[in-house]
Amino acid sequence: MQLNPIKSLRGFWADARHVLSVSYRPDMDTFKRTLKIVLLGVMILGVLGFIIFELISLFA
């Protein structure tokens, strides 16, 4: 079964246009809140990774 690349691209562009039409630009407060939550999550994962690395290197 072969896919038509032109048909696939047209479908992709139609989906992309749909996503852009239903999306909206957040206001500054929403953006800052989301940024803080994401950065907090990255920091927590980094600390957990560091702790796990140190525990493994301690017992290895």
Q: What is the pLDDT of residue 60?
A: 79
Mean pLDDT in residue range 8-20: 92
What's the rounded Cα separation, in Å, for the pair 10 and 4? 10
What's the rounded Cα separation, in Å, for the pair 47 and 53? 10
Which residue has tokens 């994401």? 38
Residues 18-57: tens digit of each pLDDT: 999 999 899 999 999 999 999 999 999 999 999 999 999 9
